[in-house]
Structure 1
Amino acid sequence: MTPSAFHEVAHLGHVELLTPEPEASLRFFTEVMGLRECAREGDSVYLRTYDDYEHHSLILTGHSTSGIRTTALRTWSAEALKRRVAAIEEAGLGIGWRDGNFGIGQSYAFRDPDGHEFELYWDSEHYTAPEASRPALKNQAEAKPAHGVGVRRLDHVNFLASSVEPNGDFLRDALGARTSEQIRLDDGRIAAQWHHFGNKSYDLVYTEDWTGSQGRLHHIAFATDTREEILRAADLFLDAGVFIETGPHKHAIQQTFFLYVYEPGGNRIELCNPVSRLLLAPDWQTVTWTEIERAKGQAWGLKTIESFHTHGTPPIEP
């Protein structure tokens, strides 16, 4: 990674999530999670959290199976976009340019070494809330919804990968990412890595897929305002019949308070707070966790449940 590559990707913009249960998934994200619908096109519904400044945070698309289709990243400038595209093409992983869509200008599509699809873009529409949801505070994109969890923003994506390290190398060399933390097993294999593009401690995560499959999703995560809102969300999920996989609890890695659920289409969704820690040190050194350290469980002693290592989307046929 050249020094100029760091900070050329600004942040995670939005994701497109596939669901075989489009109506039930839409009810989950709007009525339970509190996202707002802002557009529709074909089989896709565009949704947004109240404090993401862009047009949408999530594209929910009806499909024959579950999983993630595209992860979109915004660059710091038009020039940064051109430089990152050149680096991606040099790596041989480019797909090509695409016309813009709701709120987003022209984007460049590519894949990581594991086959997950991404888009890079620069031109973006800053969202203007309609009168019914206009905020009293003008430095906020939209009023907080009065129903559901009311998540604040899309926080990060955790991908499953057949091999973690090549994807981390690609993020570093082509996109300028840095690795904040990682897990190294006794045999030397990297089992998971957390990557960031700015001072936020992680934006994209890669976790080893125990099935050896490629291109699957572990989870997408939404940030809440407070830890107490995650406790309240657990009750809301219980009342709504949403399957709670594990939590509320605290991660040792990144020190995040968390709750994991499955939305009706089968995709794992995380609520997290505090949102990723700030890494202010310009010379931050990657924190490496050993296999024996991870065997101790989460921060307060809860052991990681088996499904956390085996459940991913799309599901693998037995």
Structure 2
Amino acid sequence: MEKLVNELKQFDVAELTHMEIYTPDPEGTVRFFKELLGMIETARVGQSVYLRAFEDSYQHSLKVTERNEPGLGHMSFRASSKNALERRVRELEKSGAGKGWIDGDIGHGAAYQFVTPDNHRMEIIWEIEEYQASESEITVLKNRPQKRPTKGYPVRRLDHAMLMSKDVTGNKNLFMNELGFKLSEHIVKDDGTDLGIWLRVTNTVNELVFTEDEGTSEKGLGRLHHFAFLYGNTQNLYEVAEILTENGLEIEAGPFKHGISQTTSLYVYEPGGNRVELYGDPGYLIFNPDWKPVTWTQEEVEKAIMFFGSPLPKSFFANGTPTVKTLSLPKK
């Protein structure tokens, strides 16, 4: 019975559905995603704007909310069924990470909220609305939600997020033991503890990454390192880099190739201050049911993060959002 429970757990979380980010410059942030990255606005409610990429399945994959500082609002994962959601909620409640149910939000039903050891806010859902394209957006490709946009340089879908942590091991235990995530790759420090972990629920290398926060000594701050959207081809990165540069955006690093995941990427700061990763080549997929996590040593960090390309700036390892030690209250 225990073996069956563990096997079920590995399939109970199906995917990353959406993220909420905070920004002190909502107009600039929304313009960045709509005008430059070709995302589509689907709703505005209060201080929040809801956006989607053209291959995202649901009503939105990004919620942009005005706050005094940039950072992560929450991440949302979908369970594989209603029963799977109930099983994961029971485990989260027993673990002490659970915070309770909320009624839902634009595009999805009731959500169960929980927090990481670093106080990153998370939720898990089942009921969600699939995107229905307007008549002018309907594509002849019946396996795609809509036509490719002709505005900006359109990203295809939300891919993953990297969060900064003062308790990487605690996060690994939470997501693997309570939610059934699998460990694809990790960087191990000299003392045997994890410096970074790459977690997945699908065949991709990661939907969620935690790395040790080198930029603050404060525990429980819950900082965001970056979140990523996929293009699909390395050449896309050089083309979008021109657009970003012409529009005065700060490209922090790239294009280059990662060792971990084998993806090609670049990192850029959106006007609100959050770091965004753009994926070119999406890297390798994992189909082996007996996959053994790939281990990189502390001495191999540079090759793990950057297989080739210009050296990463110190800001890449230290900077995250928020950049202050306490989160401010929402604007009235």
TM-score scaled to structure 1, two decimals? 0.97
Query: CA offsets per residue over residues 152-193 of structure 1, 9 Å max, x none?
Result: 000001000112111011000111001100001223231100
Query: CA offsets per residue over residues 91-119 of structure 1, 9 Å max, x none?
Result: 01111111122210111011111111111
Of 295, 320, 328, 1:288 maps to 295
Structure 2 unaligned segments of length 5 or more: list them.
327-332
Query: Are 1:311 and 2:316 counterparts?
Result: no
**8 Å contact from structure 1 (residues 179, 193) kept in 2:** yes
Query: Bigger shift: 211-220 or 8-17?
Result: 211-220
* Aligned residue identity for 1:267: N
Query: Are 1:80 and 2:87 counterparts?
Result: no
Query: CA offsets per residue over residues 42-86 of structure 1, 9 Å max, x none?
Result: 000000000011110100001111000110000100000000000
Match of 2:35 in 1: 31
SS at match of 2:84: helix
Partner Cα distance (1:107, 1:131) in 2: 31
Of 78, 97, 104, 1:93 maps to 97
Partner Cα distance (2:296, 2:229) in 1: 25
1:82–1:276 CA distance, 2 compared to 1 (3 A): farther
Match of 2:257 in 1: 250
Query: Are 1:212 and 2:217 counterparts?
Result: yes
Of 294, 298, 307, 1:299 maps to 307
Query: Bigger shift: 297-306 or 63-72?
Result: 297-306
Partner Cα distance (2:164, 2:143) in 1: 36
Match of 1:239 in 2: 246
Query: CA offsets per residue over residues 213-243 of structure 1, 9 Å max, x none?
Result: 3301000000003221111110010111111
Residue 6 of structure 1 and its aligned partner are, at CA, apart by 0.3
Residue 295 of structure 1 and its aligned partner are, at CA, apart by 4.0
1:63–1:279 CA distance, 2 compared to 1 (3 A): same
Partner Cα distance (1:77, 1:150) in 2: 31
* Aligned residue identity for 1:101: D
Query: Are 1:7 and 2:11 counterparts?
Result: yes
Partner Cα distance (1:87, 1:264) in 2: 39
Of 125, 134, 143, 1:121 maps to 125
Residue 2 of structure 1 and its aligned partner are, at CA, apart by 1.6
SS at match of 1:222: strand
TM-score scaled to structure 2, two decimals? 0.93
Partner Cα distance (2:91, 2:76) in 1: 17
Of 237, 257, 268, 1:230 maps to 237
Query: Are 1:201 and 2:208 counterparts?
Result: no
Partner Cα distance (1:300, 1:63) in 2: 37
Query: Bigger shift: 292-301 or 198-207?
Result: 292-301
SS at match of 1:231: helix
Partner Cα distance (1:191, 1:275) in 2: 23
Partner Cα distance (1:309, 1:201) in 2: 21
Query: Bigger shift: 80-89 or 108-117?
Result: 108-117
**8 Å contact from structure 1 (residues 84, 174) kept in 2:** yes
**8 Å contact from structure 2 (residues 23, 68) kept in 1:** yes
SS at match of 2:91: helix
Q: How many residues align?
A: 318
Match of 2:157 in 1: 153
Which runs of at least 4 in structure 1 moved beyond 4 Å after TM superposition? Answer: none
Q: CA RMSD in A?
A: 1.5
Structure 1 unaligned segments of length 5 or more: list them.
none
SS at match of 2:153: coil
SS at match of 1:73: strand
Partner Cα distance (2:281, 2:84) in 1: 30
Partner Cα distance (2:310, 2:247) in 1: 25
The percent identity for this pair of structures is: 41
SS at match of 1:2: helix
Match of 2:330 in 1: none
Partner Cα distance (1:239, 1:229) in 2: 16
